[in-house]
Amino acid sequence: MPRFDRILFPVDFSERSRAAAPFVLSMAQRHKSHVVLLHALQPPPPLYAGMNTVYPEVYDFEGLSADLRAELEKFAEQELPKVEVTNLVEMGEAAALITEYAETENIQLIMMPTHGYGAFRRALLGSVTAKVLHDARIPVWTAAHAPEPSHRAHPQPRHIVCATDLKNRSGMVLEFAADLAAETDATLELFYAAPEGEVEPLPAETRLHGLLVEAARAKGVRIREEEGDASVAVLVDGGTVADKVRALAIQKRADLVVIGRGCTHQGIGRLLGNSYAIVREAPCPVLSV
């Protein structure tokens, strides 16, 4: 069973941070987690004087940090009641601060919204989120569309879609999703991202899938069934992985999509190669592990 004793919640006081807060609260209450609110304070632009780079002397980092910590305390009181919280303000590049803190302070889960805006959001993730997804070695929860009206989600997931290519770390990813479904009494839908040109899983992959389904059912997870068989969506030619995952999530009214992000130095399977697009296009939050 995944345990999230310490959750890192980067906060920039935007509407998207507030939209993510109910999900952080639900996760923290279920796991009795300690939540760390982290605000990244960007350094002031440098002043160039000849060959030297200097910063304005009037910049009051200590005073500004104290004001921002007070804002974080107010945010915690409003959005995370009855949760143990630590408030931090650090100066530096946000993605680096998030991943470094998570690694050095024994964080088990990062929860953050994305910050791609306007017409460009469909073309890219917010740069901070993209860097965290690339560099973090722990699960990352993110929601690209909160707080839009079309954002379909519930703080405690009731219907989970687990997308797998049956390669890389698929067994671990499905076990993670199964544990989460058992914990929240959610149904679990399986999505298989087939290689290009493949209409049905290969025999070996079919056997592996059967073992994964049996393992999930052994945990008491309710895998949705259609005509007596586990409901498994198979990607065929004619659409991208992200589009198919989005369509399945909408069709099944999913509250959460679980995918395997993997490590960047490993071979990239079809699902891992599309993970950013899945996060960007999913109508609900995505938990990548």
Q: Are residues 13 and 138 in the same domain?
A: yes
Q: Are residues 112 and 186 in the same domain?
A: no
Higher pLDDT, 254 or 265: 254
In this structure, are residues 256 and 216 in contact, taking their beta carbons and an 8 Å threshold? no
Of the pLDDT bands very low, low, confident and very high (cuts 50, 70, 90), residue 121 is very low
In this structure, are residues 281 and 151 in contact, taking their beta carbons and an 8 Å threshold? no
Which stretch of DSSP H or E encloses residue 279? helix 275-281
Higher pLDDT, 197 or 210: 210
Please report how the helices 15-31 and 61-79 are oriented relative to each other, as an axis angle in degrees rounded to 10: 60
Q: What is the pLDDT of residue 228?
A: 36
Place of tokens 């008491």: 220
What is the mean predicted confidence (pLDDT) over 160-172? 78
What is the mean predicted confidence (pLDDT) over 52-76? 79
Please report how the helices 127-135 and 94-104 are oriented relative to each other, as an axis angle in degrees rounded to 10: 30
- What CA–CA distance (Å, rounded) separates 187 from 185? 7
Residue 256 in domain: yes
- What CA–CA distance (Å, rounded) separates 33 from 160? 22
pLDDT exceeds 80 at position 136: yes
What is the mean predicted confidence (pLDDT) over 114-131? 59
Q: Which of 143, 174, 205 is the last residue of a domain?
A: 143
Place of tokens 């949760």: 83
In sign, the C-alpha dihedral spanning 206, 211, 216, 218 is positive
Which domain, by its residues, includes 84?
6-143
Q: What percent of the chain has pLDDT over 90?
A: 32
- What CA–CA distance (Å, rounded) separates 271 from 108? 23
Q: What is the pLDDT of residue 181?
A: 87
Q: Are strands 52-54 and 229-230 parallel, antiparallel or unpaired?
A: unpaired
CATH number at residue 84: 3.40.50.620
In this structure, are residues 36 and 7 in contact, taking their beta carbons and an 8 Å threshold? yes
Read off the pLDDT of residues 20-43 as tens digits, 9 standing for 90 and up. Answer: 999 999 999 999 999 999 999 877
Of the pLDDT bands very low, low, confident and very high (cuts 50, 70, 90), residue 225 is very low
Q: What is the pLDDT of residue 215?
A: 61
Of the pLDDT bands very low, low, confident and very high (cuts 50, 70, 90), residue 6 is very high
Residue 244 in domain: yes
Of the pLDDT bands very low, low, confident and very high (cuts 50, 70, 90), residue 87 is very high
Q: What is the DSSP letter of 150?
A: T
- What CA–CA distance (Å, rounded) separates 262 from 176? 13
Q: Which of 119, 143, 167 is the last residue of a domain?
A: 143
Q: Are residues 55 and 105 in the same domain?
A: yes
Tokens standing for residue 148: 């839009």
- What CA–CA distance (Å, rounded) separates 260 from 176? 10
Higher pLDDT, 78 or 175: 78
Q: Are residues 132 and 11 in the same domain?
A: yes
What is the mean predicted confidence (pLDDT) over 230-245? 60
Residue 148 in domain: no
Q: Are residues 91 and 167 in the same domain?
A: no
The helix, strand and coil proportions of the chain, stated in percent and rounded to the nearest 5, come to 40, 20, 40
Q: What is the DSSP letter of 11?
A: -
- What CA–CA distance (Å, rounded) separates 181 from 187? 6
pLDDT exceeds 70 at position 182: yes
Total domain count, the chain = 2
Per-chain mean pLDDT for the chain: 77
Of the pLDDT bands very low, low, confident and very high (cuts 50, 70, 90), residue 113 is confident
Q: Are residues 108 and 174 in the same domain?
A: no
Map residue 88 onto helix, strand or coil. Answer: strand
Q: Which of 143, 176, 209 is the last residue of a domain?
A: 143
Q: What percent of the chain has pLDDT over 70?
A: 66
pLDDT exceeds 50 at position 173: yes
| Range ranked top by mean pLDDT from 7-11, 142-146, 237-241 | 7-11
